[in-house]
Amino acid sequence: MSDRDFAIRVKNILKQCIKDLGKIKWLYLEKPEIDFSRPRKISFESFISICLQMEGDTLQKELLKYFDYDDDTPTSSALCQRRAAVSPEALRFLYCCFTEAVMELDAPKTYRGYRLIACDGSDINIPYNPSDYESYQKNGDKKGFNQLHINVFHDVLNGIYIDCIVEPDSEIDERSALISMLKRYKSNIPAIIMADMGYESYNVLAHLSRSGQKFLVRIKPSNSNGILSSYELPEGEFDLDIHTILTRRQARQFKEDRDTYTVLSTTQRLDFIDEENPFFELNFRVLCIKLEDGHYEFIATNLPRGEFTAEDIKELYHMRWTVEGSFRELKYTIDLVTFHCRKRNFVMQEIWARLIVFNFCQAIIHHISLTRQTGNTKNRIYAYKVNAATAISICKEFLKRGDGDINPCRLIGRFLTPVRPGRSEPRNLKAQSAKSFLYRAA
């Protein structure tokens, strides 16, 4: 299948998913017997398409663009009435259906037969709304803010979010989110689940071990209050196996036999221990890897030593960082910092819509063969990769227009950026708030 045909196929899949959603729309309407029952300019299907195509302009401008500046363009008030009738679960259902269909469209790229799945989370600042108590955060004497948190399973090699959980900032539990998404992962292709230090816990490692999937989790060093503080470990780099039995029983025989048992406190969660099953056996491999700057990183994994060396694991953990770049693209290229509403349900509609658009764009971008698009690169100094921001803009425009109006793959192949290895700059971390409605004043 050519790149252009693949792009059209992805677009048709999204259109079909919207049609299928329209057939069961009554499941997601506030008043199924009344809402969308009469012919209107904004039908249920067109409402979904409007949500997917909205960018950073005012709501009325977005409607004018969608209806091509027609004399009968609906007002923003009419759209808000439609929005109030639709549960955000409709967009979530569309996200799940589209993502599943895209995953089955083509054989996914793998690493030694494994899908690389990075689990991570990111805060989303949403418009100021102090009446939304769950997402509202006080800020001392200063004005407060509203924030949600997204947790994702990001397919590193294929670029898409295969699962996502959105929760208010006051209810953040990234470890539980990882476990929930792990239980929902049903692919026939085995995976390596990769997570950062914030996910470290015996409960997470226990669920990962029971799942049958491989995992790679960065953990705290032995001189901290993390998992490794319970074990005697050598100095410098090492690659060791840890076999332990977890229990909450406080008997002296368990506390003193640290080579066999790890006694958990009453506050440490472990879903597999109860009165009938007081012990849980946990086996994993721990590596201490020295970085170029002299610092050490500690990794817990169940990848077999004969198949994955320390260098392999170091490379895998480095690949995990692509999820951080995906958040940047989701927020600033897909426009997840520009909302057109304050109500939580409306905000959730836009979040799920942006996730759908992100997967739509990434499915097309990652299918493109750069060797064919760039031609002869023999005499070039650098290797080249897709310019993500430009490619996403092209895919978003392709979603809006007819299939023959744009050849997204040819355009994406023209706008590339060189890969310059070895470059490193300190991260310039700066708090990013949701863009105010005032900035879009005409």
pLDDT of residue 371: 43
CA dihedral 188, 194, 198, 204 (to 10 degrees): 40
pLDDT of residue 377: 52
Residue 50 lies in a domain: no
What is the C-alpha to C-alpha distance for residues 362 and 323, in angstroms, rounded to an integer?
Answer: 13
pLDDT digits (tens, 9 = 90+) for 7-56: 999 999 999 999 999 999 999 999 999 999 888 889 999 999 999 999 98
Residue 264 lies in a domain: yes
Residue 90 lies in a domain: no
Query: Which of the residues in the chain have pLDDT under 70?
Result: 1, 369-380, 421-433, 435-442
HEC letters along the chain? CCHHHHHHHHHHHHHHHHHHHHHCHHHHECCCCCCCCCCCCCCHHHHHHHHHHCCCCCHHHHHHHHCCCCCCCCCHHHHHHHHHHECCHHHHHHHHHHHHHHHHHCCCCCECCEEEEEEEEEEEEECCCCCCCCCEEEECCEEEEEEEEEEEEEECCCCCEEEEEEEEHHHCCHHHHHHHHHHHCCCCCCEEEEECHHHCCHHHHHHHHHHCCEEEEEECCCCCCCHHHHCCCCCCCEEEEEEEEEECCCCHHHHHCCCCEEECCCCCCCCCCCCCCCEEEEEEEEEEEECCCCCEEEEEECCCCCCCCHHHHHHHHHHCCHHHHHHHHHHHHCCCCCCCCCCHHHHHHHHHHHHHHHHHHHHHHCCCCHHHHHCCCCCCCCEEEECHHHHHHHHHHHHHCCCCCCCHHHHHHHCEEEECCCCCCCCCCCCCCCCCHHHHCC
Residue 216 lies in a domain: yes
pLDDT of residue 407: 87
Residue 244 lies in a domain: yes
Residue 208 lies in a domain: yes
pLDDT of residue 439: 54
What is the C-alpha to C-alpha distance for residues 433 and 376, in angstroms, rounded to an integer?
Answer: 44
- Note down the domain range covering 297: 197-319
- Number of compact structural domains in the chain: 1
Residue 218 lies in a domain: yes
The pTM of this model reads: 0.91
Inter-helix orientation angle 89-105/3-23, to 10°: 140
Residues in contact with 390: Cβ distance below 8 Å, sequence separation at least 6, in sequence order: 412, 415
pLDDT digits (tens, 9 = 90+) for 80-91: 999 999 999 999
Residue 293 lies in a domain: yes
